Amino acid sequence: MALNAAPQPGEPTPPRHVAIIMDGNGRWATNRGWPRLVGHRRGAERVKQIVRACPDLGVNWLTVYAFSTENWKRSTEEVLGLMKIFRRYIEREADGLAAEGVRMRFIGGRDRLDKKLQALMAGIEARTAVNSRLNLTVAINYGGRDELTRAATRLAEKMQAGQIDTPDEADLAACLDTAGCPDPDLVIRTSGETRTSNFLPWQAAYAEYEFTETLWPDFSPEHLAQILDRFGLRERRFGGV
C-alpha cells in the first residue's frame, strides 16, 4: 500500500487497529556506541512519524507499548530518563496531536508514576477527547497480567455491589484499561524478538502477529506500509473453516 493512497476496490483492507511493541531502542544506541537513552529519544521521534502516517495508511487505532511493569527493573538512570522523555513528548506534542485530530489515551497502572506525569497524561486525554482521526493509546507501566488482575478486582466489586449477577466476557472486557477500544487486528514487534512480553494478552487473542528484525528507531512508515500489505493477504478465519 503506497503512503498517502487510499485502498482501491479489490486491494487488501488495512487493519483497523495496529498495536506495536516498540523494541530495540537500547540496542540501536549501543550498536553506535551511544548511551541507551539516545536510542529512547530517537524512538520517541519515530513514534511521531508513525502516528502521522497511520491515517493515510487506513489505520484508525494505534496502540504502542512504551513502558512495561517489568521495565522498572532497569537502572534508575534509564527509568528516570524514560519518564523525562514521556513528559517532554506530551508537552511538546500536545498542540500538534490536537491539531491533527489525534485522540490520545493511556493504559496501565498510574499510581507508580510521578504526579507531574500523571497530570500531563490526564490533561492531554481531556484536551484530545473529541478527536477521532486517529486513536492513539500509549501503554505506560502496563502489563497484561496486571491489567487482568485489576479488571478482575473491578468485576468482583461490581458483583458485590449487585451490578452484575453472572459475569461474561463482555463484563470483564468492560473492566479492562482498554474498555471501549476495539481489539487489535495486528500486533507488530520490532528488533527481531519473538515474544509477546505480556502485551494485551486478552485483547490480542485473535490478532495477527508480525515480527520484524528492524530496530524501532529504524522502523519507518514505509516498513509499516509493507507489513500492512502483507496483512491484507492473510485469511482470518477466527476459528472457522
C-alpha cell at 104: 490520545
| Full strand arrangement of the beta sheet holding 186-189 | 102-107, 134-142, 61-68, 17-21, 186-189, 208-211
Of 23, 141, 177, 185, the catalytic one is 23
- The answer to whether residue 31 is catalytic is no
**CA 120 to chain CA mean position, Å:** 18
Q: Binding site annotation covers 28?
A: yes
The answer to whether the annotation marks 210 as part of a ligand binding site is no
197 is in an annotated binding site: yes
Catalytic status, residue 23: yes
Listed in sequence order, the DSSP H helices in 128-209 are 144-160, 169-173
Q: Which of 4, 56, 60, 71 is catalytic?
A: 71
The reply, when asked if residue 74 is annotated as ligand binding, is yes
| Phi, psi of 123, deg, nearest 5 | -65, -45
Residues in the chain: 241
DSSP 182: P
34 is in an annotated binding site: no
Contact status, residue 70 vs residue 142, Cβ threshold 8 Å: no
Asked whether residue 68 is marked as a ligand-binding residue, the answer is yes
Ligand-binding annotation for 195, yes or no, is yes
Q: Tell me whether residue 208 is annotated as binding.
A: yes
Beta bridge partners of 59: none
Q: Check whether 216 is labelled as a binding-site residue.
A: no
- Report, as residue numbers or ranges, the catalytic residues: 23, 71
Where is the binding site for Mg(2+), in residues? 23, 208
| Known binding-site residue numbers | 23-28, 36, 40, 68-70, 72, 74, 189, 195-197, 208
Residue positions forming the annotated binding site for substrate: 24-28, 36, 40, 68-70, 72, 74, 189, 195-197
